[in-house]
Amino acid sequence: MEQIKRVALVTGAASGIGKAIAERLNSNGVQVVGADVDEAIEELAKEAGLSGVVCDLSQREECRRLADEVISRHQRIDILINNAGFQHVASIDSFPEDTWDQMLAVLLTAPFLLTRYLWPAMKKQGFGRIINIGSIHSLVASPFKCGYVAAKHGLLGLTRVAALEGGESGITVNAICPAYVQTPLVDRQIEDQSRALGIPPEQVISTVMLQPAAIKRLIHPDEIAGLVSYLCSDAAGSITGAAWTVDLGWTSR
């Protein structure tokens, strides 16, 4: 019997964690569709032998279009990686309301919508792997991150509910909760905090980002991709509803 070729959708796949995950799954023989608001996704995907879709996940109709396009192209979906990111740092009294709306749309509403739209196909085939890329801020809080922390806490809640509902249909749902990963998004955050605090970038990393950590370095995207690869495998079929901390020992305190 010919082995079924799995199909995966990875959001935020143009760079950073999403790019590393897309490349790892592709190397595992998975047919990968990478989605990103950055138009560079089409060229990057072509270079890596993937499919690329330009998509603004802050828009509900774009989430619907993306889900429909994946099913139309491949007639199935096995793996959904909700990874697309959004960062904004501000105190509660200065946090822009429209930025709050956009942040929750990308980080929480889009994962819900994609899960909802792709759920029937996974349920019908009796197999699914959904992995939500949360954050250490799915579990703890930091000042000046009200929108991000709220969205990532919500994403963990969504993960747990979906895990409970999907178990009987062979769908597992897990969250990966990393501390700071070396990505373009984090690089920009380092630059922003360096300017705001009036300290060098390397001091932002050591005294702000890594102060609570036992391992004093940023995480590499490939480390997250390796964990995703395992959670998508048959060997992880009994693991669901879990928050996998990749946090350099942050929450050991």
**Per residue in 174-214, pLDDT tens?**
999 999 999 988 888 888 888 878 999 899 899 888 998 99
Distances from the Cα of 179 to the Cαs of 22, 62, 86, 92, 243, in angstroms? Answer: 20, 29, 15, 22, 13
Q: Which residue has the tokens 């990308």?
A: 106
**Per residue in 76-104, pLDDT tens?**
999 999 999 987 878 899 999 999 999 99
Angle at 52 between CA 48 and CA 57, to 5 degrees: 135
Active site residues per annotation: 148
What structural domains and CATH numbers belong to the chain? 7-179+220-246 (3.40.50.720)
The answer, yes or no, to whether residue 149 has pLDDT greater than 60, is yes
**Per residue in 103-135, pLDDT tens?**
999 999 999 999 999 999 999 999 999 999 999
DSSP string, 94-135: G--HHHHHHHHIIIIIHHHHHHHHHHHHHHHHT-EEEEEE--
Residue 4 tokens read as: 């079924």
Reference 219, options 181, 164, 168; nearest CA is 181
Work out the average pLDDT over 7-31.
96
Q: Which helix (H) or strand (E) holds 76?
A: none
The answer, yes or no, to whether residue 1 has pLDDT greater than 70, is no
